[in-house]
Each structure stands twice: as C-alpha cells, then as structure tokens.
C-alpha cells in the first residue's frame, strides 16, 4: 500500500526462522515498529530481524544510510542489551551515505514548495539518491579514504552551495567542516563494511529474508508519481538492492493492512473524512513512527492491491491490523474505480488521474468481538473470515498470516 502496513512486526516474527535479514532500499524515512512481550522497539535503518540474536542483519547497496542515525540506533539497541557487533550487523561497501547537505536540501525544498509539497520525511532520502544517480555520491567504502571523502564532498558542495545561497537563502556549507564531521564517525562505521551480495551467496542452505521498506505505491517508477519516495520499493529490487540475482528469491510475502493509510501528500481514492476514518485513526493509533504525523485513513483498496500483486508476483499475504476493524458496523472493500464513465479494475496511468476516480465498494458486516487474543483462524468471527476470504478471491493470493495485534505473538498462521 503506502507504507506502515506492519512490515516491522512481520519481519521480526519471520526472522526467528531466518538466518540473514537484508534491507535493500530506502533509509531512515522508514519507521518499523516491533513489539515483543509488550516492549516496543522502533527501527529506522537496522533490519527488523536484529532482535533475533541468532540472525545476521545486513544493509544492502540499495539503502541510503545516514551514518549518524545508524550509530544512534546501534547505541540504543546496545543499551537495551541487543548484540550489534559487526559479526551480526553489516553495511554494504556500496551503500550511499546521507550527508548533512542532503537533509538540508530535502527540508528547504519542501519548505519552499508549499502547495506542491510531497510531504517528505525530511531525512535527505531524495537528494542522496539524486547524487547516487548523478554519480557524485559518497559510498560507505569511501570512508576508508580521507582524500576521496574531501574531494567528493567538495565537488558536491560546489553545486549545492549555489542552491543553498542563491535559491534557498541558506548559509553555504564548508566542505572541510562536513568532511571533519564525516571522518570523525568513520572509524565506527568502517568495521561494519561487508560484501553483502557475497555473504548472501555463500549462505548455502540458509534462509534469507529481504525486508522492504515503504510501500509499493510509493515506488519511484510504479507509485503515485510524483508523490512517491525516491527508490524502487517493489520486490524485484531486493535483488538489485542487495547484490544477488533473481534466482535467490522464491517467495514474496506482501504485508497488507486490513484498511489503508497514507502519510504525506498524494492521491488516496478510499480516504475517509468521517467517523469511520476517525475510528481507524484512533483505534489503529495511526500516527507516523518516523515523523509523528497523523496518518490519513481509508477503506481497503483491492484495486491498488491488485496492482501490488502484479508488480511483485506476491505468493502470499500477511493481513495486519484486522483487530482495528472491531466495532465498525460495516466494513468496505473497494473493488473497482469509476473513471471517465468507465469501470476500471487497475489504477489509471496518467499523472494525478488517481485523484479523479470514484471507488466502487462492496459492503461486509462488521464484528464486535475482541479478536486480539485469538490465535486460531477457525476461532475468528465468521464475518472476519468472510472478509479475509473475499480478499483472497479478489487478489488470487492466499492470506497466510493474520495479525490481530502489535505483539509478535498476536499472529495467526494459516
Ligand atoms: P511498518 O512501517 O510497515 O513497519 O509499520 P509501522 O511500524 O510504521 O506501523 C504499524 C503500526 O501498527 C505499529 O505501531 C505496529 O506496532 C502496529 N501493528 C502492527 N500489526 C498490528 C496489528 O495486527 N494490530 C494492531 N492493532 N497493531 C498492529
Ligand atoms: P515505512 O517503511 C509511510 C512517504 C513520505 C512522503 C513520501 C516521500 O515505515 O512504511 P521521502 O522522505 O521518502 O522522500 O518521502 O514517502 N514515506 C513513507 N510513508 N511509511 C514509510 O516507510 C515512508 N517512507 C516514506 O511520507 O509522502
Ligand atoms: Mg512505518
């Protein structure tokens, strides 16, 4: 969908049966919440498998890594007794680094844009990917070469300082200052450098879990452009973003929220502006794990999900936050769109056209029982099972996991 589906929860749960967990795109724009026996951990960069002491967690080349945020996360985990030694945590040599000027550029651009704001997380994600594609980015391996760090930062700031001072009314940044800041933390990052692709390749007979961030409809190519993030969030990027071939991937699990949410701007056909929307927002505690912004809420959109199934070759679905639907008298699923007099079963392709669709809804009876402690599919209320089975029909993909609460244990496996 558009992020925050409960990926952190599912990855943590599945990591108990995985040997290696790899993040392959995005950066600390993500906020992944894990709850174990009531204790909550929010991760932005480190893979959500880190709480499983036996798993190795790797950050792939497709990620953009803010080294200060990474170290902060390492320190916080270490303080709560989690092993974050470089034997079980690694960063690809090729991972691009988010530097202070990326963050500043992200923030001043958004401030200036006002009406056309994307509502980015302000973490410097877009500007860092821009530098990667422009072939001027600083990669993690460069931290071992002081001269290269200075040369690259100097070059990047030649252009960026013109933007800062001429367009955005900011003070230019001094390349020597930025270089000093980077070199000061380099000794703590360097021990984590590793060849992620080779580590995965040498893990014969092991289970590798690739963890995506954001949502499919925030994908730079396939999402609701331009209201998207700056990376490919689709499953195929798991290969590119970690340095392995497609042959390494044999199952693709889509994490789907039982309704829809979105943070930031952009089209949202099933968005609700009524008491049902308020119910989802309040009951689902729908507040951004990264920026603290309230999330926009709406009904489940099977049109959007059909596109997700197709874009990812989903082999199964984990349906999350089903418990949040409790006490809604009627639950709706959008099964098609009316658009310019036609009925569509896939999203229209023109920029902004998703703003002009009218959702076609099916209505399903709600439920009043508390299902948050239910651990058996057969014990779920009949109306919940019908809703789930209708979704399977619409999407042609089995719902393998049903999540009924934030805790690792609150999961039904079918
Ligand atoms: P992610 O970005 O996909 O990892 O999702 P977030 O962590 O940003 O947002 C999901 C939120 O829903 C978190 O607060 C989770 O603790 C919570 N959550 C996950 N699964 C469930 C569930 O089945 N029921 C409820 N009530 N909360 C859930
Ligand atoms: P997780 O992994 C929800 C959204 C931002 C904004 C757009 C671009 O927790 O699901 P960016 O900072 O990436 O340039 O912002 O993308 N966005 C997310 N929304 N969950 C996320 O991550 C998101 N990461 C980015 O709100 O609309
Ligand atoms: Mg999130």
- Choose one of 104, 263, 286 to mutate for the ligand 2 pocket test, by most ligand atoms within 8 angstroms of C-beta: 263
Q: Say what the pLDDT of residue 367 is.
A: 98
pLDDT at 68 over 80: yes
What does the alpha-carbon distance between residue 64 and residue 97 come to, in Å, rounded to a whole number? 6
Say if residue 324's pLDDT is above 90.
yes
Distance 321 CA to ligand 1 centre (A): 7
Interval between CA 89 and ligand 3 midpoint (Å): 21
Tell whether the model's pLDDT for residue 181 goes beyond 90. yes
Averaged pLDDT score across all residues of the chain: 97
Q: Is the pLDDT of residue 141 over 80?
A: yes
Whether the bond between 226 and the residue before it is cis, its omega within 30 degrees of 0, is yes
Tokens of 6: 């409960």
* CA distances from residue 217 to 110, 133, 177, 303, 308 in whole angstroms, order as listed: 21, 21, 38, 12, 8
Buried residues in 24-59 as b, exposed as e (16+ CB within 10 A): bbbbbbbbbbbbeeeeebbbbbbbbbbbbeebbbbb
Confidence (pLDDT) at 292: 85
| Distances from the Cα of 278 to the Cα of 273, 297, 300, 359, angstroms | 8, 8, 15, 19
Question: What is the radius of gyration, based on Cα positions, of the chain?
Answer: 22
* pLDDT tops 90 at residue 18: yes
Strand partners, 59: 23, 91
pTM of the complete model? 0.97
What is the CA(165)–ligand 1 centre distance, in A? 41
Counting from 1 in the atom list of ligand 2, the atom nearest the Cα of 266 is 27
For a ligand 2 pocket test, name from 28, 264, 296 the mutation site with the most ligand atoms within 8 angstroms of its C-beta: 264
Residues facing residue 407 across a β-bridge? 35
At CA 402, angle to CA 398 and CA 404, rounded to 5? 165
Tokens 């933390």: give the residue: 185
**Active-site residue, 4 included:** yes
Which of 11, 106, 229, 256 has most ligand 2 atoms within 8 Å of CB, for mutation? 229
Q: Is the CB of residue 123 below 6 angstroms from any atom belonging to ligand 2?
A: yes
Tokens for 308, please give them: 């997700």
What is the reported pLDDT for 113? 82
342 confidence band (pLDDT: 50, 70, 90): very high
For 216, the token pair is 């499919």
Q: What is the pLDDT of residues 362-372, one digit of tens each?
A: 999 999 999 99
263 lines ligand 2 (CB under 6 A): yes
> In the predicted model, is pLDDT for residue 289 greater than 80?
no
pLDDT category of residue 37 using cuts at 50, 70 and 90: very high
Task: Please indicate whether residue 291 or residue 234 has the higher confidence score (pLDDT).
Answer: 234
Average pLDDT over residues 329-356: 97
- Percent over 70 (pLDDT), the chain: 100
The rounded Å distance from CA 91 to ligand 1 centre is 26
Q: What are 220's two structure tokens? A: 């730079």
Catalytic residue flag (residue 276): no
Average of pLDDT values for 240-253?
95
Chain position carrying tokens 């009524």: 274
What average pLDDT does this structure show over 94-119?
Answer: 93
Average confidence (pLDDT) over 157-174: 97
Kindly tell me if the per-residue pLDDT of 323 is higher than 80: yes
Which pLDDT value is given to residue 172? 97
What is the rounded average pLDDT of the residues 273-292? Answer: 93
**pLDDT tier at 188 (50, 70, 90 boundaries)?**
very high
Please compute the mean of the pLDDT values over residues 351-355 and round it to a whole number. 96
Task: Give pLDDT, residue 116.
Answer: 81
Establish whether residue 213 lines the binding site of ligand 2, counting it when its CB lies within 6 angstroms of any ligand atom.
yes
For residue 45, give every residue at least 6 positions away whose Cβ sits within 8 Å of its Cβ, in sequence order, or none.
23, 27, 28, 30, 59, 63, 65, 66, 69, 70, 73
3-class SS string, the chain: CCCCCCHHHHHHHHHCCCCEEEECCECCCCCEEEEECCEEEEECCCCCCCCCCCCEEEECCCEEECHHHHHHHHHHHHHCCCCCCCCCEEEECCCEECCHHHHHHHHHHHHHHHHHCCCCCCCCHHHHHHHHHCCCCCEHHHHHCHHHHHHHHHHHHHHHHHHHHHHCCCCCCCHHHHHHHHHHHHHHHHHHEECHHHHHHCCCCCCEEEECCCCHHHCCCCCCCCCCCCCCCCCCHHHHCCCCCHHHCCCCEEEEECCEEECCCCCCCCECCCHHHHHHHHHCCCECCCCCCECEEECEEHHHHHHHHHHHCCCEEEEECHHHHCCCCEEEEEEEEEECCEEECCCCCCCCHHHHCEEEEEEEECCCCCCCCCCCHHHCCHHHHHHHHHHHHHHCCCEEEEECCCECCCEEEC
- Give tens-digit pLDDT for 123-133: 999 999 999 99
The whole-angstrom separation of Cα 131 and Cα 138 is: 8
Centroid of ligand 3 to alpha carbon of 57 (angstroms): 19
Q: Is the pLDDT of residue 200 over 90?
A: yes
pLDDT at residue number 66: 98
Inter-helix orientation angle 382-395/302-312, to 10°: 50
- Cβ of 64 less than 6 Å from ligand 2: no
pLDDT at 375 over 80: yes
Place of tokens 């049109």: 303
* pLDDT at residue number 115: 76
Percent of the chain with pLDDT over 90: 96
Name the residue with the closest Cα to ligand 2, atom 16: 229
């Amino acid at each position: 969908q558009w992020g925050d589906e409960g990926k952190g929860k599912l990855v943590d749960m599945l990591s108990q049966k995985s040997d290696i967990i790899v993040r392959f795109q995005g950066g600390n724009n993500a906020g992944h919440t894990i709850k174990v026996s009531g204790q909550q951990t929010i991760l932005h960069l480190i893979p959500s498998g880190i709480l499983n002491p036996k798993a190795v967690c790797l950050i792939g080349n497709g990620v953009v890594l803010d080294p200060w945020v990474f170290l902060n996360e390492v320190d916080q985990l270490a303080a709560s007794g989690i092993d974050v030694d470089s034997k079980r945590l690694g960063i690809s040599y090729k991972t691009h680094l988010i530097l202070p000027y990326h963050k500043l550029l992200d923030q001043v651009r958004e401030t200036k844009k006002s009406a056309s704001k994307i509502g980015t997380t302000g973490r410097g994600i877009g500007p860092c990917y821009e530098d990667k594609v422009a072939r001027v980015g600083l990669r993690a391996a460069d931290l071992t070469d002081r001269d290269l760090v200075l040369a690259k930062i100097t070059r990047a700031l030649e252009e960026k300082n013109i933007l800062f001072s001429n367009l955005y009314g900011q003070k230019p940044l001094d390349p020597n200052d930025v270089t000093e800041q980077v070199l000061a933390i380099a000794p703590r990052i360097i021990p984590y450098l590793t060849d992620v692709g080779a580590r995965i390749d040498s893990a014969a007979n092991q289970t590798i879990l690739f963890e995506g961030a954001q949502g499919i409809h925030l994908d730079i190519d396939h999402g609701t452009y331009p209201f998207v993030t700056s990376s490919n969030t689709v499953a195929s990027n798991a290969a590119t973003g970690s340095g392995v071939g497609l042959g390494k991937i044999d199952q693709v699990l889509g994490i789907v929220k039982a309704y829809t949410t979105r943070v930031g701007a952009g089209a949202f056909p099933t968005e609700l502006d009524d008491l049902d929307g308020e119910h989802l927002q309040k009951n689902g505690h729908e507040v951004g794990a990264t920026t603290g912004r309230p999330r926009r809420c709406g009904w489940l959109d099977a049109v959007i999900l059909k596109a997700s199934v197709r874009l990812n070759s989903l082999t199964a679905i984990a349906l999350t936050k089903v418990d949040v639907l409790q006490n809604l008298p009627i639950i709706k699923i959008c099964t098609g769109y009316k658009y310019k007099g036609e009925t569509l079963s896939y999203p229209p392709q023109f920029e902004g056209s998703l703003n002009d669709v009218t959702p076609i809804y099916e209505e399903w009876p709600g439920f009043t029982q508390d299902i948050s402690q239910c651990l058996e599919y057969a014990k779920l209320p009949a109306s919940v099972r019908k809703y789930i089975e209708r979704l399977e029909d619409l999407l042609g993909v089995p719902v393998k996991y049903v999540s009924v609460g934030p805790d690792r244990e609150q999961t039904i496996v079918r």
